């Protein structure tokens, strides 16, 4: 059967703001407490989805999570009405309030790790929602991300949803941002590259670690996912992130490497013992790998982080007669850097790889908070039967895009500062928007505030 690589993007929430909540994410901390534009952020994301849809690639979305997260506020000891909770949190710590309002679920590359049915022993698509325990503002996403994935991919004949890994630093899991699948084509069996920053159990396993910023993904988490997803370890490679790169802002592997089908595009300083990693990939691959290794002379790690070049989306475009069949969706920032633009032009003009063109995307609002094109999407390979069984209300088409654009323009603010989170009107604005969105996407009552109203 034909296999689609579904791109599942996170729809930017109405409380998108800049608070610098992610140490190690240079863009996030650099833009802390500047003024955000949630309306522009959401429209930029929808424009990206429209482009991918028009390229003939299957595109869907996941809705934002409920914000503010009143349950998290309650866990933190803030009681009373929602307005009272918000007011008390603001007096105590703007950072805590910001975490409860965080719109970081927009970056669905961190929502889960996915293994397609052609790679798993029971021939079902496997999902493990990421626990994201490294940061307070992200750990709250795990349970709701799992719920959303179970709703969208509900048919147990085709889909296998696993328990979230134990919420400890030993099994710290950041999702597909640290996972790449290589294959001859999407319908063929794949080779899985799991990338980790540290070992959770270090007593008997000393290893090089970053000195400035924290490593997030653990080897134990990656190994647990490979086991539970019933992957053949002969088709799995585990690689350690270069700690020096983490200290320069490579908080996830997708900031320094990207893969699509047989192509692996990466920086020469992506992994520890990189020649050995690439050799193991080549030995385990049952198809010719096309490894494109960018040297530090061509592009420094610092400039890779600044431009998010490796966080571009690399996608196969179907229905073309050309030998080359991939397109690179790169951040606009790459076009504005002459050296990176030259690097990209060399890639697309070379006969040694299938990347045949580039499209530059303006995602300024997301980029300023540390997320480029690839951060905004989770890749879900599905065969025709699996695709037919998923929830269709989240699939992108032009009519849905126009409806969502109108919805954003109605409900989203064009300016939001962290201090504005104390405005009690923002609670009702957010909840009203989400209530309408669930009807648009035909999801039913999925948010805690909706269930409380129903009860």
Residues that are catalytic:
174, 252, 375
Give the Cα separation of 211 and 213 in Å (integer): 6
Torsion of CA 107, 337, 356, 305, to 10 degrees: -40
Judge whether 180 and 264 are in contact, CB under 8 Å. yes
Residue 131 and residue 142: Cα distance in Å, rounded? 5
> Which value, in Å, is the radius of gyration of the alpha carbons in the chain?
21
Concatenate the DSSP letters of all residues of 377-429 into one string.
EEEEEEEHHHHHHS-GGGB--HHHHHHHHHHHHHH--S-B-GGGGG-THHHHH
Number of neighbouring beta carbons within 10 Å of residue 100: 25
Asked whether the beta carbons of 419 and 40 are under 8 A apart, the reply is no
Specify the residue for token string 């328990």: 163
Q: What is the DSSP string of 275-299?
A: HHHHHHHHHH-SS--EEEEEPTTTS
364-389 burial: b if 16+ Cβ within 10 Å, else e: ebbbbbbbbbbbbbbbbbbbeebbeb
A 10 A CB-CB count for 34 gives: 14
Q: How far apart are CA 12 and CA 22, in angstroms?
A: 18
Distance between CA atoms of 26 and 245, rounded to whole angstroms?
12
């Amino acid at each position: 059967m034909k296999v689609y690589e579904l791109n599942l993007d996170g729809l930017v929430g109405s409380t998108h703001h800049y608070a610098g909540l992610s140490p190690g994410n240079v863009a996030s901390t650099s833009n802390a407490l500047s003024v955000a534009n949630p309306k522009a952020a959401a429209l930029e994301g929808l424009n990206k989805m429209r482009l991918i849809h028009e390229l003939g690639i299957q595109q869907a979305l996941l809705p934002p999570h409920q914000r503010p997260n009143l349950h998290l506020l309650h866990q933190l000891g803030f009681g009373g009405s929602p307005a009272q909770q918000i007011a008390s949190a603001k007096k105590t710590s703007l950072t805590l309030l910001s975490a409860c309002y965080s719109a970081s679920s927009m970056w669905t590359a961190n929502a889960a790790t996915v293994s397609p049915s052609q790679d798993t022993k029971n021939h079902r698509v496997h999902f493990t929602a990421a626990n994201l325990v490294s940061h307070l503002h992200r750990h709250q996403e795990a349970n709701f991300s799992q719920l959303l994935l179970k709703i969208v991919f509900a048919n147990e004949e085709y889909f296998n949803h696993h328990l979230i890994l134990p919420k400890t630093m030993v099994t710290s899991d950041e999702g597909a941002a640290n996972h790449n699948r290589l294959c001859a084509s999407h319908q063929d069996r794949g080779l899985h590259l799991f990338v980790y920053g540290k070992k959770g159990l270090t007593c008997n396993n000393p290893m090089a670690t970053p000195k400035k910023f924290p490593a997030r993904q653990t080897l134990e988490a990656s190994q647990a996912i490979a086991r539970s997803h019933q992957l053949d370890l002969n088709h799995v490679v585990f690689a350690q992130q270069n700690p020096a790169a983490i200290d320069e802002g490579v908080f996830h592997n997708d900031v320094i490497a990207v893969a699509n089908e047989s192509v692996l595009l990466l920086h020469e300083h992506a992994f520890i013992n990189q020649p050995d990693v690439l050799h193991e990939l080549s030995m385990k691959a049952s198809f010719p790998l096309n490894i494109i290794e960018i040297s530090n002379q061509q592009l420094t790690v610092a400039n890779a982080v600044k431009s998010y070049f490796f966080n571009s989306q690399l996608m196969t475009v179907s229905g073309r007669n050309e030998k080359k069949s991939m397109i690179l969706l790169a951040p606009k920032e790459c076009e504005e850097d002459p050296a990176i633009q030259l690097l990209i032009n060399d890639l697309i003009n070379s006969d040694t790889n299938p990347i045949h063109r580039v499209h530059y995307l303006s995602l300024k609002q997301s980029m300023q908070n540390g997320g480029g094109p690839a951060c905004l999407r989770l890749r879900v390979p599905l065969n025709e039967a699996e695709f037919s069984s998923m929830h269709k209300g989240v699939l992108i088409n032009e009519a849905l895009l126009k409806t969502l654009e109108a919805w954003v323009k109605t409900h989203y603010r064009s300016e939001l500062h962290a201090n504005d989170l104390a405005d009690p009107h923002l609670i009702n604005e957010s909840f009203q928007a989400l209530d309408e969105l669930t009807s648009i996407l035909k999801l039913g009552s999925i948010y805690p505030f909706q269930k409380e109203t129903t009860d």
